[in-house]
Amino acid sequence: MTTVHDSARRQFMQKAAVAIAASSLPAINFAQSAGERQFDPQPGPWRSFELTTRVDIARTQGITRVWLPIPSVNTDWQQSLESSFSSNGKTELTSDSRYGARMLYAEFPESVAQPFVTLTSRIKTQNRAGNWAQKQVTTEDAATLRAHLAPTALLPTDGIVRKTALEATQGARSDVEKAQRLYDWIIANTYREPKTRGCGEGDIKTMLETGNLGGKCADLNALFVGLCRSVGLPARDVYGLRLVPSAFGYKELGGNPAKLAGAQHCRAEVFLKGYGWVAMDPADVAKVMRQETPEWIKTPQHALVAPVNKALFGSWEGNWVAYNTAHDVALPNSQGEKLGFFMYPVAETAAGRLDSYAPDLFKYEISAREMKG
Report, as an integer, the average pLDDT of 364-372.
96
pLDDT digits (tens, 9 = 90+) for 284-336: 999 999 999 999 999 999 999 999 999 999 999 999 999 999 999 999 999 99
Question: pLDDT value at position 15?
Answer: 42
Report, as an integer, the average pLDDT of 5-9.
41
Question: pLDDT value at position 59?
Answer: 87
- Residue 271 phi/psi, 5-degree rounding, is -90, 120
Confidence grade of residue 28 (pLDDT, cut at 50, 70, 90)? very low
Report, as an integer, the average pLDDT of 233-240.
98
Closest CA to 225 of 341, 311, 72: 341
- What predicted TM-score, i.e. pTM, was given to this entire model? 0.89
Contact 42, 279 (CB under 8 A): no
Confidence grade of residue 9 (pLDDT, cut at 50, 70, 90)? very low
Mean of the per-residue pLDDT values of the chain = 91
Sign of the torsion angle spanned by Cα atoms 17, 18, 19, 21: positive
pLDDT of 358 strictly over 50: yes
Which domains, and CATH codes, for the chain?
Answer: 38-43+127-323 (3.10.620.30), 47-125+327-371 (2.60.40.2250)
With a pLDDT cut of 90, the percent of the chain lying above it is: 85
Report, as an integer, the average pLDDT of 12-23.
41
238 DSSP β-pair partners: 267
Report, as an integer, the average pLDDT of 81-87.
98
- Residue 155 phi/psi, 5-degree rounding, is -125, 70
